[in-house]
Structure 1
Amino acid sequence: MAQGKRVLVAEDHPRTRRLWNELISSWGYQVEAAEDGIQVLELVHSFEPHILLLDLKLPGRDGIAVLEEIQREGLPLTTIIISGEGDIPDAVKCIKLGAYDYLRKPVDPVRLRQVLSNLTAHLNAAEENQRLRLRLMETGELGSMIGRSLATRRVMALIEQAAPSSASVIIRGASGTGKEIVARTLHELSPRRNGPYVAINCAALPESLMESELFGHERGAFTGAEHRRPGCFELANGGTLLLDEITEMKPELQAKLLRVIEERRLRRLGGTTDVPVDVRVLAATNRPIQEALSKGQLREDLYYRLAVFTIELSPLSERTEDIPPLVDLFIRQFASANGKAIVGADDACLEALKARSWPGNVRELRNVIERAVIVSRGPLLTLADLPPEPVHNGRSKEKPSGVSPVLPVGTPLREVERELILKTLERVGGNRLKAAQILGISPRTLYNKLERYSGADGPEKE
């Protein structure tokens, strides 16, 4: 069943174009027709077809040029190539460019109807998957991503828009915010999901090796190059390449990278021939973009080529609504890995986690939960299972409200304990959960001690 699918017919012969239009319309499809390549591209934007029947021999711009432009713009359009007897090599080239199938002239109407029917079923399934993803987004899940905050839902919406295309994306966020998870989710939700996903950290490699890692090298290209070695672009061919910390790449190499992205071909170090590549490029950085541009750490021409989409990730401290689902996820992972019967975290533990500053973001939260799962006796994580919040950059999250208590030698231990507890409470503004966390005791223990101090200071009960 056609189910309202839109089909664009691109054929320069008037009679054939009219016959296809009438025939496909009679099967229940909405049909528009184009007589040349320029009109095809115009109707692709105005008619927004689901399926394109594309004759290779079109005036204005031929079928290959049209398909290359559709791919360059990242348009999610399923294309069937119509080829003549001598056009088979060009039709194969179109398949490599992303065309779904090709039919040879004269086209068999029964075969064409079957292909359109199969495509319609495929498109309907894809649309249903998208609706399911949208419902999952409302509950805080998309692919590998999880979170309930408004900031995370906005990121998920951008991923949903960008993933079906081949457009480049820049992902910016502080260390540990989840840039690699975003990149992997973009890949998993894209038409390239069955292709390779390759990630390279530009900050982790010496400058002398970076070019070889990206573009590969031939035997004898430099000392120690005993064999030909493909680079990351070739390894990611047909899939996705993530360039993490791209601002750490020297500007001269950024210029070569730009040329490879634009020309879709590369030359290995020491090589004499160009190698075609079909790779979607994602880039990530923890630096503010404008700062990187002004300091020359990121070339403007490369930035404008990569930033078809820009995804900004907020620090975890600005999206505390994400902490409970992330904690649940990490507990499940580490409880299973360590054979622990832990099913969640109690309310006091969750509140304490949400109160932390998390300068290490999601990565720091993951490490805290891993440690807590290992030491916990279960079935729920408690405050006592959490490590003390570390001091960052010489200061803790809470600012001291006074000088540390100085007690004379010989002060009874119970008085030292009492003074320390009261000063800690004063420091955190009376927040007992925070005080218990800092002191490394459970809230119940703290409440019991405060009750005893209150009884000692007040009148005796009858």
Structure 2
Amino acid sequence: MDGLEKVLIVEDELHARTGLTELVASWGYRAEGAADGVEGLEKAVEWGPSIVVTDLKMPRMDGMELLHKIGMLPQRIAVVMLTAQGSIESAVEAMRMGAYDYIPKPVDPVRLKTILHNASDQREADVEMEVTRRQVRSAGRLGPLVGNSPQMMEVFSLIERVAPSNVSVLVTGESGTGKELVARALHELSARRLKPFVAVNCAAIPETLIESEIFGHEKGAFTGAQERRAGCFELAEEGTLLLDEIGEMPAATQAKLLRVLEDRKLRRLGSKVETPVDVRVVAATNKDPEQAVASGELRGDLYYRLNVFNIRMPTLREHLMDVSAIAEKLIDDMNERHNCTVAGLKDALIRRLEDYQWPGNVRELRNTIERAVILAGNGMLGIEHLPPNFGEPGSVPSSAGGRAPMTATGGSADAAAAASREVQRYLDEQNTVRVEVGTTVDEAERQLILKTLSSTHNNKTKAAEILGISAKTLQNKLKEYSNSSND
């Protein structure tokens, strides 16, 4: 801990101000107090603290106005808001305005110490972030994200602004747009970057297990619970937790999640005690969250708690100018994964890729590039490495994802095209459901679901998207088939 780190306590109640100042000083900080927002602003300008801990309601100038004025100062100051019971909405609004974090009264010393420690670490992250900003301007990249379009630059800007804070973020956008990459970028650009990043798909966990997976359980909490198990929150301690497809989470679990977000304490299944947690939560959904709230799939209070900051990922068809840059990045990834030496994209292929509308977004582009890299092996990718009839009216987008059984390692365009046709015949065979005359509708449906699940390598989320049903419906169908086989 840097003993010269300055912390300013702004609190109109004398005893509370004196107690907090002495407590913070005992942790190795240089701490001073101010009696209200006016005095606090004066000391912020003259003394230059790196952190300000301020009460929300004060005479002359309240905490919200102080936060706004501190945000206008040239130096970067982390503001932590003290809130009384019942003013959580004000705290959330403060975080929207740029507060680093908030802590309810009476102040929990352990939590305050953790917040100050993280805010101090953020100063180091700020230096790295400025380097990253320069890289973004010159190369169009931010962590795992790629793009030079205005749409992606807006996403980069939002990530840069919110990453240093502990505020919850809701990432929205169609499937395949890269919502998890946004969460990873937020993590990598925060003071939590050296701590765990944990991602959990709420739609992929059976309803009976999701609460245990997220919050953990004690030994004997339910049948089969033979030992204590930490949930995703505890696994992500001091790091970042991504809750993907949050709208698929059961209502009872949503209520418990809301409690954890507000109190920052959780209770494992079967436990009688609460465990403090320090986790930054990022939620993602491919649905319109307001429609999900209206339909009852997503609790309104949870939505407003998660939606402190919203980042919408554009569809790929909205920023087609980034297709070639993303494809080049994917080629580098696939060369390493498949031990290939593809050098880049031919101009004709770039034009074809930019003319396509990409209903599967970046995920579909990734599958297309992976397949092409495997087919080519080396040299430049051309149109001959695309799936047959790619981009033509009435053609079906490929979802092979590079699962071809053979590769071409160069040679003429005719040889590459022949190899492409051979691979496609194999893929068509693998992804075809044959239904005999007399087969019942239920049996045909079962075959279609199981074949689709097999083609996605048991990825239930992707299978549900292909089938056009919800992940919950797919889970129910699979449970029904399992029960039938056991009868």
Global fold match (TM > 0.5): yes
Report the Cα distance in structure 2 between the residues aligned to 1:366 and 1:245, rounded to whole angstroms: 21
Q: Deviations over 1:42-63 (max 9, x none)?
A: 6444234746899xxxxx989x
Other structure's SS at 1:379 match: strand
Note if 1:378 corresponds to 2:378.
yes
Distance 1:287-1:328 versus aligned 2 partners, 3 A rule: same
- Name the residue aligned to 1:107: none
Other structure's SS at 1:208 match: coil
Q: Deviations over 1:339-394 (max 9, x none)?
A: 322211110011111122211111111111111111115321111111125699x9
Distance 1:379-1:206 versus aligned 2 partners, 3 A rule: same
- Name the residue aligned to 1:73: 95
- Name the residue aligned to 1:171: 171
Distance 1:194-1:98 versus aligned 2 partners, 3 A rule: farther
Q: Deviations over 1:184-234 (max 9, x none)?
A: 111111121122111110110110001111111111111100101111111
Q: Give the conservation status (yes or no) of the 8 Å contact 2:176–2:362.
A: yes
Q: Give the conservation status (yes or no) of the 8 Å contact 1:176–1:364.
A: yes
Note if 1:306 corresponds to 2:328.
no
Note if 1:217 corresponds to 2:217.
yes
- Name the residue aligned to 1:367: 367
Distance 1:314-1:92 versus aligned 2 partners, 3 A rule: closer
Residues 330-339 or 290-299, more deviating? 330-339
Within 5 Å, give how 1:178-197 maps onto structure 2. 178-197=178-197
Query: How far apart are residue 173 of structure 1 and its match?
Result: 1.1
- Name the residue aligned to 1:325: 325
Query: How far apart are residue 243 of structure 1 and its match?
Result: 0.7
Other structure's SS at 1:342 match: strand
Other structure's SS at 2:247 match: helix
- Name the residue aligned to 2:355: 355
Q: CA RMSD in A?
A: 4.2
Query: How far apart are residue 307 of structure 1 and its match?
Result: 0.3
- Name the residue aligned to 1:160: 160
Other structure's SS at 1:73 match: helix
Report the Cα distance in structure 1 between the residues aligned to 2:259 and 2:157, rounded to whole angstroms: 30
Distance 1:239-1:395 versus aligned 2 partners, 3 A rule: same
Distance 1:266-1:72 versus aligned 2 partners, 3 A rule: farther
Residues 356-365 or 330-339, more deviating? 330-339
Note if 1:242 corresponds to 2:242.
yes
- Name the residue aligned to 1:280: 280
Report the Cα distance in structure 2 between the residues aligned to 1:395 and 1:47, rounded to whole angstroms: 57
TM-score for the superposition, normalised by structure 1: 0.66
Distance 1:156-1:204 versus aligned 2 partners, 3 A rule: same
Q: Give the conservation status (yes or no) of the 8 Å contact 2:352–2:391.
A: no
- Name the residue aligned to 1:47: 70
Within 5 Å, give how 1:78-97 maps onto structure 2. 94-97=112-115
- Name the residue aligned to 1:135: 134
Within 5 Å, give how 1:311-460 maps onto structure 2. 311-376=311-376, 378-389=378-389, 395-396=394-395
- Name the residue aligned to 1:433: none
Distance 1:92-1:377 versus aligned 2 partners, 3 A rule: closer
Report the Cα distance in structure 2 between the residues aligned to 1:225 and 1:34, rounded to whole angstroms: 43
- Percent identity between the aligned chains? 43
How many residues get paired?
A: 356
Report the Cα distance in structure 2 between the residues aligned to 1:369 and 1:182, rounded to whole angstroms: 21
Report the Cα distance in structure 2 between the residues aligned to 1:78 and 1:247, rounded to whole angstroms: 26
Flag structure 2 segments of 5+ consecutive residues without an equivalent. Answer: 19-31, 398-412, 419-487
Runs in 1 of length 4+ with deviation above 2 angstroms? 5-14, 28-54, 69-79, 89-101, 125-139, 336-341, 388-392, 394-398
Distance 1:360-1:280 versus aligned 2 partners, 3 A rule: same
Report the Cα distance in structure 2 between the residues aligned to 1:77 and 1:241, rounded to whole angstroms: 18
Other structure's SS at 2:311 match: strand
Larger Rg belongs to: 1
Q: Deviations over 1:390-421 (max 9, x none)?
A: 699x94389xxxxxxxxxxxxxxxxxxxxxxx
Report the Cα distance in structure 1 between the residues aligned to 2:353 and 2:213, rounded to whole angstroms: 40
Other structure's SS at 1:217 match: coil
